[in-house]
Amino acid sequence: IEHQKTNHYLPRVIQQCLAYLNETDLEMLPTGKHIIDGENIFANVMEFETGEANSKQAEVHKEYIDVQCLIRGEERIQYSLEDEINPIAKSYDEENDFYLVESMNQCNNVIMYPKMFAVFLPEEPHKPGCVVSQSGLIKKIVIKVHRKLLTQ
């Protein structure tokens, strides 16, 4: 989040999210929902223990982009691109904007450390909160950006 020069090339709304992350004392931010711009942009702050990837299912969103930033700890996020091959495990929950898939075709990993961020677009399966080397407590913030803002 601190690489202003590189991040300058990202879409304006993602830059806005990164500015929020840089201007906020993330360590002091309480868990729960934080409104940034109504239902267009809001953040969820959470703390939890990482778990084994094979014990989790990947989440997929339709309406919101995830800008996930680690505050404390380390985590592995598995992800892939949209693919009709990914078997649906739980049907779409419109109120919470997600469905789950059992597995991901051509799965990749990103290892997250504090102040690192990853962006997941609608329909991209991702499995956050996975163990890197051993289970541990993490604190993270997920900024939810309505997809319509990416085209403005």
What is the value of pTM for the model shown? 0.94
Shortest CA distance to 52 belongs to which of 112, 140, 133? 133
Query: Which whole-number Å values give the CA distances from 59 to 3, 11, 25, 98, 101, in the listed order?
Result: 28, 24, 28, 6, 7
- pLDDT digit string (tens) for the chain, length 152 residues: 988 889 999 999 999 999 999 999 999 999 999 999 999 999 999 999 999 999 999 999 999 999 999 999 999 999 998 888 888 999 999 999 999 999 998 999 999 999 999 999 999 999 999 999 999 999 999 999 999 999 87
Token reading at 95: 């109120």
